Structure 1
Amino acid sequence: MNVRLMGAVSDETGMSTVEYAIGTIAAAAFGAVLYTVVTGESIPDALTGIIEKALNTSV
Protein backbone atom coordinates (compact mmCIF):
# COMPACT_ATOMS: atom_id res chain seq x y z
CA MET A 1 0.00 0.00 0.00
CA ASN A 2 2.79 2.46 0.89
CA VAL A 3 4.64 1.69 -2.36
CA ARG A 4 1.52 2.35 -4.43
CA LEU A 5 0.85 5.63 -2.55
CA MET A 6 4.44 6.83 -3.01
CA GLY A 7 4.23 5.96 -6.72
CA ALA A 8 1.10 8.05 -7.11
CA VAL A 9 2.62 11.03 -5.29
CA SER A 10 5.96 11.05 -7.12
CA ASP A 11 4.64 10.15 -10.58
CA GLU A 12 5.70 12.84 -13.08
CA THR A 13 3.74 11.60 -16.07
CA GLY A 14 2.47 14.57 -18.03
CA MET A 15 4.93 17.08 -16.63
CA SER A 16 6.49 17.72 -20.02
CA THR A 17 3.05 18.42 -21.49
CA VAL A 18 2.38 21.06 -18.83
CA GLU A 19 5.80 22.62 -19.41
CA TYR A 20 5.16 22.80 -23.16
CA ALA A 21 1.75 24.37 -22.56
CA ILE A 22 3.19 27.03 -20.26
CA GLY A 23 5.99 27.73 -22.74
CA THR A 24 3.50 28.06 -25.59
CA ILE A 25 1.34 30.47 -23.60
CA ALA A 26 4.39 32.54 -22.65
CA ALA A 27 5.56 32.67 -26.29
CA ALA A 28 2.11 33.74 -27.46
CA ALA A 29 1.95 36.47 -24.82
CA PHE A 30 5.42 37.72 -25.80
CA GLY A 31 4.37 37.74 -29.45
CA ALA A 32 1.26 39.76 -28.63
CA VAL A 33 3.27 42.32 -26.67
CA LEU A 34 5.88 42.55 -29.43
CA TYR A 35 3.17 43.01 -32.09
CA THR A 36 1.57 45.77 -30.03
CA VAL A 37 4.88 47.58 -29.63
CA VAL A 38 5.89 47.29 -33.29
CA THR A 39 2.52 48.37 -34.68
CA GLY A 40 2.31 51.37 -32.35
CA GLU A 41 2.99 54.96 -33.37
CA SER A 42 6.41 55.32 -31.77
CA ILE A 43 8.35 52.64 -33.68
CA PRO A 44 7.54 53.82 -37.25
CA ASP A 45 8.17 57.43 -36.18
CA ALA A 46 11.53 56.50 -34.67
CA LEU A 47 12.57 54.52 -37.76
CA THR A 48 11.49 57.35 -40.06
CA GLY A 49 13.52 59.80 -37.98
CA ILE A 50 16.61 57.60 -38.12
CA ILE A 51 16.32 57.15 -41.89
CA GLU A 52 15.75 60.86 -42.51
CA LYS A 53 18.71 61.75 -40.31
CA ALA A 54 20.92 59.27 -42.16
CA LEU A 55 19.84 60.59 -45.58
CA ASN A 56 20.29 64.25 -44.62
CA THR A 57 23.83 63.99 -43.27
CA SER A 58 26.60 65.64 -45.24
CA VAL A 59 29.78 63.70 -45.85
Structure 2
Amino acid sequence: MKKFTGVARPTTVLLAVRGFGDWLRRRYRKVADGPPDAGMSTAEYAIGTVAACAFAAVLYKVVTSGTVSGALSEILDRALHAV
Protein backbone atom coordinates (compact mmCIF):
# COMPACT_ATOMS: atom_id res chain seq x y z
CA MET A 1 0.00 0.00 0.00
CA LYS A 2 1.38 3.41 -1.01
CA LYS A 3 1.73 6.10 1.58
CA PHE A 4 -0.23 9.32 0.90
CA THR A 5 2.14 12.29 0.74
CA GLY A 6 -0.54 14.97 0.39
CA VAL A 7 0.49 15.84 -3.15
CA ALA A 8 -1.63 14.81 -6.12
CA ARG A 9 0.09 12.93 -8.89
CA PRO A 10 0.56 14.97 -12.07
CA THR A 11 -1.53 12.53 -14.11
CA THR A 12 -4.43 12.85 -11.67
CA VAL A 13 -4.33 16.64 -11.87
CA LEU A 14 -4.11 16.54 -15.66
CA LEU A 15 -7.14 14.24 -15.90
CA ALA A 16 -9.11 16.51 -13.57
CA VAL A 17 -8.25 19.59 -15.65
CA ARG A 18 -9.17 17.80 -18.88
CA GLY A 19 -12.45 16.64 -17.36
CA PHE A 20 -13.29 20.18 -16.30
CA GLY A 21 -12.42 21.49 -19.76
CA ASP A 22 -14.70 18.91 -21.38
CA TRP A 23 -17.53 19.81 -19.00
CA LEU A 24 -17.00 23.51 -19.69
CA ARG A 25 -17.14 22.98 -23.47
CA ARG A 26 -20.35 20.94 -23.17
CA ARG A 27 -21.91 23.57 -20.90
CA TYR A 28 -20.96 26.41 -23.26
CA ARG A 29 -22.46 24.58 -26.23
CA LYS A 30 -25.67 23.95 -24.33
CA VAL A 31 -25.97 27.61 -23.28
CA ALA A 32 -24.87 29.01 -26.64
CA ASP A 33 -27.35 26.90 -28.60
CA GLY A 34 -30.14 27.63 -26.14
CA PRO A 35 -33.83 27.50 -26.86
CA PRO A 36 -35.08 29.46 -29.87
CA ASP A 37 -37.06 31.85 -27.63
CA ALA A 38 -34.38 32.73 -25.10
CA GLY A 39 -35.27 36.41 -24.49
CA MET A 40 -38.15 38.49 -23.21
CA SER A 41 -40.69 39.88 -25.61
CA THR A 42 -41.80 43.51 -25.73
CA ALA A 43 -44.92 42.75 -23.68
CA GLU A 44 -42.81 41.14 -20.95
CA TYR A 45 -40.52 44.19 -20.86
CA ALA A 46 -43.58 46.45 -20.55
CA ILE A 47 -45.03 44.41 -17.67
CA GLY A 48 -41.63 44.34 -15.95
CA THR A 49 -41.26 48.11 -16.32
CA VAL A 50 -44.74 48.77 -14.90
CA ALA A 51 -44.06 46.42 -11.97
CA ALA A 52 -40.73 48.12 -11.24
CA CYS A 53 -42.38 51.57 -11.31
CA ALA A 54 -45.15 50.38 -8.99
CA PHE A 55 -42.59 48.94 -6.57
CA ALA A 56 -40.62 52.21 -6.68
CA ALA A 57 -43.78 54.22 -5.92
CA VAL A 58 -44.65 52.04 -2.94
CA LEU A 59 -41.08 52.21 -1.65
CA TYR A 60 -41.06 56.02 -2.03
CA LYS A 61 -44.32 56.29 -0.06
CA VAL A 62 -42.96 54.09 2.72
CA VAL A 63 -39.65 55.93 3.01
CA THR A 64 -41.26 59.39 2.97
CA SER A 65 -43.93 58.48 5.54
CA GLY A 66 -43.75 60.23 8.89
CA THR A 67 -42.89 57.12 10.87
CA VAL A 68 -39.98 55.99 8.71
CA SER A 69 -38.73 59.54 8.20
CA GLY A 70 -38.74 60.15 11.96
CA ALA A 71 -36.94 56.85 12.60
CA LEU A 72 -34.26 57.67 10.03
CA SER A 73 -33.80 61.16 11.50
CA GLU A 74 -33.46 59.69 14.99
CA ILE A 75 -30.85 57.19 13.79
CA LEU A 76 -28.86 59.94 12.08
CA ASP A 77 -29.05 62.17 15.18
CA ARG A 78 -27.79 59.35 17.38
CA ALA A 79 -24.98 58.58 14.97
CA LEU A 80 -23.87 62.21 14.72
CA HIS A 81 -24.04 62.87 18.45
CA ALA A 82 -22.37 59.63 19.55
CA VAL A 83 -19.53 60.06 21.99
| Number of the residue aligned with 2:70 | 45
Distance 2:80 2:60 in 1: 28
Q: Deviations over 1:6-57 (max 9, x none)?
A: xxxxxx8xx6011111101111111110111111012221111112222333
Number of aligned positions between the proteins: 45
Structure 2, unpaired ranges of 5+: 1-36
Larger Rg: 2
If asked which structure has higher relative contact order (CA below 8 Å, sep 6+), I would say 1
Distance 2:67 2:81 in 1: 21
Distance 2:80 2:48 in 1: 42
Confirm whether residue 28 of structure 1 aligns to residue 46 of structure 2.
no
- Please identify which structure carries the higher helix content: 1
- Normalised by the size of structure 1, how large is the TM-score? 0.60
- Normalised by the size of structure 2, how large is the TM-score? 0.46
Distance 1:18 1:55 in 2: 48
